[in-house]
Amino acid sequence: QVQLVESGGGSVQAGGSLRLSCAASWSTVGGHAMAWFRQAPGKEREGVACLDPDDGYTNYVASVKGRFTISQDSAKNTLYLQMNALNPDDTGMYYCAARPGIFGNSFCFVQRVYDDWGQGTQVTVSS
């Protein structure tokens, strides 16, 4: 089992930027597909962005395309989410997660196949 620890959340005004980090306890990032999910107050958790380091595949939920960028640094075993042009709808708890390689990119936002989850980092965007 891998331990994932998120950081980088905070409070920003609309239009601002944040970069989230997710540190893995072992070489998860290099060998497993990873994703960021978020949960807004009173809403279900949703997929935000996913990445497969084996082929460089990335995918984003429509609401963040062009504003968020998912990336990874294998040498540091760290996953990132660069978030620009933030708006209040981006407010929520952000989680990183890892899924086994047997699940392909079609499972990008299928939460049940993700075995390992971080504790989350809070992002609050004010208008």
CA trace torsion 17, 27, 30, 7 (10° rounding): -10
What's the mean pLDDT in 54-63? Answer: 93
In sequence order, the 6+-apart residues with CB closer than 8 A to the CB of 25 are: 2, 3, 4, 5, 77
pLDDT tens sequence across 111-125: 999 999 999 999 999
Asked if 108 contacts 35 with a C-beta cutoff of 8 angstroms, the reply is yes
**Residue 27: predicted pLDDT:** 59
**Sequence letter at residue 96:** C
- Read out DSSP for 84-121? -S--GGG-EEEEEEEE-TTS-GGGTT-GGG--EE---E
What 3-state DSSP class applies to 29? Answer: helix
What's the mean pLDDT in 94-119? Answer: 92
pLDDT tens sequence across 76-91: 889 999 999 999 999 9
Instruction: Output the six-digit token pair for 59.
Output: 């995918």
What's the mean pLDDT in 63-82? Answer: 94
Backbone angles phi, psi at 9, to 5 degrees: -70, 170
